[in-house]
Amino acid sequence: MDDWKKALAQSVVKPKDLAAHLGVDPKDIEEIVGDYPMRITPTVLATIKAKGDAIWKQVVPDPAEMEDFEAEDDPLEEDLMSPVPHLVHRYPDRVLLMVTNQCPIYCRFCTRKRLVGKPGFLKKGELDRAIAYLREHTEVRDVILSGGDPLLLPDHLLERVLKALRSIPHLELIRIGSRVPGSLPQRITPQLCEIVKQYHPIYMNLHFNHPDELTPEVKAACGMLADAGVPLGAQTVLLRGVNDDPEIMKRLMHQLLLARVKPYYLYQADLTKGTNHFRTTVETGMEIIRALQGHTSGMAVPHFVIDAPGGGGKIPILPPEYLVHLDEDGAILRNYENKTFRYPQPDNGGRRELPMVGARRAADSCGDGGYEDL
Ligand SMILES: *Cc1c(COP(=O)(O)O)cnc(C)c1O
């Protein structure tokens, strides 16, 4: 058996195993894992340092999951935007393709809590239907493999999916969203990298929420993917009691860059049933962006987004004070040190134009173009 399959098989999935490893009373969580499965890989188990710490909270079932009666199972209305099974077509030019419901670990705050944990991978006939849809929809240029976790597919099935996608001429990008490098680094093998290399451009967005997740093994797994030519991004969920703190978040972003992973999105927690106890205020996310922007490498600043309930898609949120004022004369801007500056609009000969008509820099004289301190 492959090492990664062994590691996955050694994961904690039964309440009584949790008692043995972490001293949790199995009775307290039996009912929860009946509804929402648990899996904790040896790598993740080893990073838990104390009961209730940031890693623990992400993977150990909490009775609060069962006390959430208001929220929806599917707040993003993905099920309504699915033209064929396992495919979500929300945006004009890109789709999600869910290739499995299996994950290396079951995050307690998962947006797809209603689905994950069920056995099996996308079946041949289901893949054929998804491919037929994509072949017909020539506007789709970007497919995001998701789930569940696509990197839990065995090599031959992952290759089958990639090969089928690459048979579609108008498809430009393939993206893979995965928590595998951070939780089951053994899965990142030279063979996997060889497969991935044949189907470029392949991008990966990896799920990381806390700096302690970036162990040396995890960084090595990320490095193998980067060496295989895969541009790596990170998606982080803002979680109460886990990473809702600017200092922790800055350490996470720095650790990601050290692992050759570029922070991509910071998500406000979704309204998914059973995950409400993880939500923070929106201001918490803005505070984190304020603490990063300008204070550290711009590379370390993710886009803070809210995936709008009701299927509105991801909407970016910036602290509102950066753009103090904007009119036809110019913009009043505030920087990270709280200083204000004025950026004048280009001179367009007294003509009034609608905003956003496009670049008009050529007509600008060089003299008065720069930023001026007020
Ligand atoms: C997040 C998401 C995408 C990809 O969005 P990007 O902003 O391009 O990363 C595509 N489809 C759905 C349904 C999504 O939720």
CB 307 within 8 A of CB 314: yes
* pLDDT score at 54: 98
* pLDDT score at 357: 45
CB 226 within 8 A of CB 260: yes
* pLDDT score at 96: 97
Share of the chain above pLDDT 70, in %: 93
Cα(309) to ligand 1 centroid in Å equals: 14
Cα(91) to ligand 1 centroid in Å equals: 7
pLDDT digits (tens, 9 = 90+) for 298-316: 999 999 999 999 889 999 9
Cα(28) to ligand 1 centroid in Å equals: 36
| Residue at token pair 């030279």 | 190
* pLDDT score at 327: 97
144 pocket-lining for ligand 1 (C-beta < 6 Å)? yes
Beta bridge partners of 40: 12
pLDDT digits (tens, 9 = 90+) for 15-38: 999 988 888 899 989 999 999 999
Cα(226) to ligand 1 centroid in Å equals: 22
* pLDDT score at 372: 45
* pLDDT score at 234: 98
Report the relative pairing of strands 323-326 and 313-316 from DSSP bridges.
unpaired
The residue ranges of every structural domain in the chain are: 3-64, 79-316, 324-369
pTM score of the predicted model: 0.92
Residues near 72 by beta carbon (within 8 Å), at least 6 away in sequence: 271, 272, 273, 309
CB 373 within 8 A of CB 341: yes
Segment 108-117 shows an average pLDDT of 94
314 pocket-lining for ligand 1 (C-beta < 6 Å)? yes
Question: Mutate which of 78, 80, 81, 90 to test ligand 1's pocket (most atoms within 8 Å of Cβ)?
Answer: 90
* Lowest mean pLDDT segment, chosen from 80-89, 114-123, 279-288: 114-123
How far is CA 212 from its chain centroid? 17
SS3 of the chain: helix, strand, coil, percent, to 5: 35, 20, 45
103 pocket-lining for ligand 1 (C-beta < 6 Å)? no
Cα(213) to ligand 1 centroid in Å equals: 24
Told to judge if 103 belongs to the known catalytic residues of this protein, a careful annotator would answer yes
According to DSSP, residue 363 is labeled G
Question: Mutate which of 115, 235, 314 to test ligand 1's pocket (most atoms within 8 Å of Cβ)?
Answer: 314
* pLDDT score at 353: 57
Confidence of residue 118 (pLDDT cuts 50, 70, 90): confident
Q: Residue 287: what are its φ and ψ, rounded to 5°?
A: -60, -40
DSSP letter string over 105-134? Answer: S--TT-TTTTTTT---B--HHHHHHHHHHH
Q: At what angle do helices 26-35 and 15-22 cross, to 10 degrees?
A: 140
Picking from 199, 208, 202, the residue whose alpha carbon sits closest to that of residue 248 is 208
Question: Mutate which of 81, 87, 96, 204 to test ligand 1's pocket (most atoms within 8 Å of Cβ)?
Answer: 96
Segment 166-181 shows an average pLDDT of 98
Give the containing element (helix H, strand E) for 191. helix 190-197
Q: Residue 138: what are its φ and ψ, rounded to 5°?
A: -70, -10
Q: Residue 305: what are its φ and ψ, rounded to 5°?
A: -130, 150
In the predicted model, is pLDDT for residue 356 greater than 60?
Answer: no
Give the containing element (helix H, strand E) for 56. helix 54-59
Please list, residue by residue across 210-229, b when 16 or more beta carbons sit within 10 angstroms of its beta carbon and e when fewer do.
Answer: bbbbbbeebbebbbbbbebe
98 pocket-lining for ligand 1 (C-beta < 6 Å)? no
Confidence of residue 350 (pLDDT cuts 50, 70, 90): low
Q: Tell me the two tokens of residue 321.
A: 């004070």
89 pocket-lining for ligand 1 (C-beta < 6 Å)? no
In the predicted model, is pLDDT for residue 354 greater than 90?
Answer: no
Confidence of residue 365 (pLDDT cuts 50, 70, 90): very low
CB 202 within 8 A of CB 232: no
Cα(361) to ligand 1 centroid in Å equals: 33
DSSP letter string over 273-314? Answer: TT-GGG---HHHHHHHHHHHBTTB-GGG-PEEEEEETTTTEE
Distance CA 302, CA 161 (A): 29
Distance CA 118, CA 186 (A): 23
In the predicted model, is pLDDT for residue 343 greater than 80?
Answer: yes
* pLDDT score at 186: 98
In the predicted model, is pLDDT for residue 362 greater than 80?
Answer: no
pLDDT digits (tens, 9 = 90+) for 217-269: 999 999 999 999 999 999 999 999 999 999 999 999 999 999 999 999 999 99
* pLDDT score at 10: 97
88 pocket-lining for ligand 1 (C-beta < 6 Å)? yes
Q: Could you tell me the fold of the domain covering 79-316?
A: TIM Barrel (3.20.20)
Question: N- to C-terminal Cα distance for the chain?
Answer: 67
Q: Residue 293: what are its φ and ψ, rounded to 5°?
A: -60, 120
202 three-class SS: strand
Average pLDDT, the chain: 93
* pLDDT score at 371: 46
Q: Tell me the two tokens of residue 41.
A: 């890989």
90 pocket-lining for ligand 1 (C-beta < 6 Å)? yes
pLDDT digits (tens, 9 = 90+) for 69-94: 889 999 999 989 999 999 999 999 99
